[in-house]
Amino acid sequence: MNIIARALLLILTTCPALSQSVESEPRKSRGPIVLKEDDRPAFPPPPEGWDKRREGIPHGKLTMIEYDSKTVGTRRRMNVYTPPGYTPEKKLPVLYLLHGIGGDETEWERFAHPDVLLDNLLADGKAVPMIVVMPNGRAQKNDRPTGDVFKHAPAFAVFEHDLLDDVIPTIEARYAVQADREHRALAGLSMGGGQALNFGLGHPLLFAWVGGFSSAPNTRKPAELLPNANAAKHLRLLWLSCGSKDGLFSISQDFHAWLKAQDGPHVWHVTDHEHDAPEWKQALYHFLQQLTFSGVVPTGGEISSQKGGASKIGK
């Protein structure tokens, strides 16, 4: 993102009045951040060395792959992490990890090095082997984050079709993947957080693991995301995190409060960060450990599974 776009982003994320103008559906003006008693970290800060590339442990592999998007009508790119020891003989679960408004398929790797975090977690037995797919969430012909990136907001909504019809089928055709909801996670930061909540909760038969990090104003309102908070019981994990100094805090806070009021199970992790890369990196570190891809979620409790239902994916 160039310096002008960055400055604009800072103004927009800290000034509720201005941010209204770029929302597709205006939300209520966001007032000052008011912290509640339960707006606290769910996890301690990561331990020493958590984000340092370690010698002497097995390393996974990052590959930038291309695919033909029927949705966009272009050849697009995504960054794919395969864990150490990946072989076409053993099917693995997949996390689809989405970037923010100024990012692209390289953003997570530049900000957070998910490969390093996962290599370290795997070496320490704190995560299970998984494939991590980092696509480009701006589903338009020119998907570079240039110019006024806020004008690209509609393309972040179109990405729902690219994800379901192009990205996921490509990954499931080319990699050894456990192609069912129990082994498919969707998460993202900011605009990507809004996408993950909108698409993930909108397609409960496709995703059992959903996470929104510092979710942006593209996030649907709580009652639209989950008309019945009880539905969260059918997920393995619903994750919400945000920095308490983020101008977008109320978006995550409101959804948390709405879920809590109705006993909808979820993780709520609040740090004292702003809308920044260190927030997303530590959120990812903790989120990866919650992705057990089994019925047991370390902090989320035992959640019953949703049975049956047709998916257009994997057919």
Q: Which residues bind ligand FER (CB under 6 A)?
A: 12-13, 19, 22-23, 100-101, 153, 190-191, 216-218
**Are 126 and 46 a contacting pair, CB within 8 Å?**
no
- Closest contact distance (angstroms) between CB of 251 and ligand FER is 9
- Closest contact distance (angstroms) between CB of 60 and ligand FER is 26
Q: Cβ closer to ligand FER: 6 or 90?
A: 6
- Closest contact distance (angstroms) between CB of 9 and ligand FER is 6
* Paired tokens of 257: 């409060």
**Are 292 and 298 a contacting pair, CB within 8 Å?**
yes
The position carrying tokens 């590339």 is 53
Q: Cβ closer to ligand FER: 22 or 72?
A: 22
What is d(CA 161, CA 139) in angstroms, rounded to the nearest whole number? 9
* Paired tokens of 237: 């994990």
- Closest contact distance (angstroms) between CB of 7 and ligand FER is 13
- Closest contact distance (angstroms) between CB of 111 and ligand FER is 11
- Closest contact distance (angstroms) between CB of 233 and ligand FER is 29
* Paired tokens of 161: 């079709």
Please tell me the number of Cα atoms within 13 Å of 292 on its side-chain side.
Answer: 14
Q: Cβ closer to ligand FER: 16 or 60?
A: 16
- Closest contact distance (angstroms) between CB of 285 and ligand FER is 19
- Secondary structure (3-state) at 85: coil
Q: Cβ closer to ligand FER: 11 or 261?
A: 11
* DSSP, res 164: I
What is d(CA 159, CA 293) in angstroms, rounded to the nearest whole number? 25
Q: Cβ closer to ligand FER: 20 or 311?
A: 20
Q: What is the dihedral of CA 118, 123, 124, 129, to 10 degrees?
A: 50
Helix and strand tally (H, E) in the chain? 10, 8
What is d(CA 57, CA 187) in angstroms, rounded to the nearest whole number? 27
- Strands 209-213, 267-271: pairing is unpaired
Q: Cβ closer to ligand FER: 155 or 191?
A: 191
Q: Cβ closer to ligand FER: 198 or 218?
A: 218
* Paired tokens of 160: 């729902």
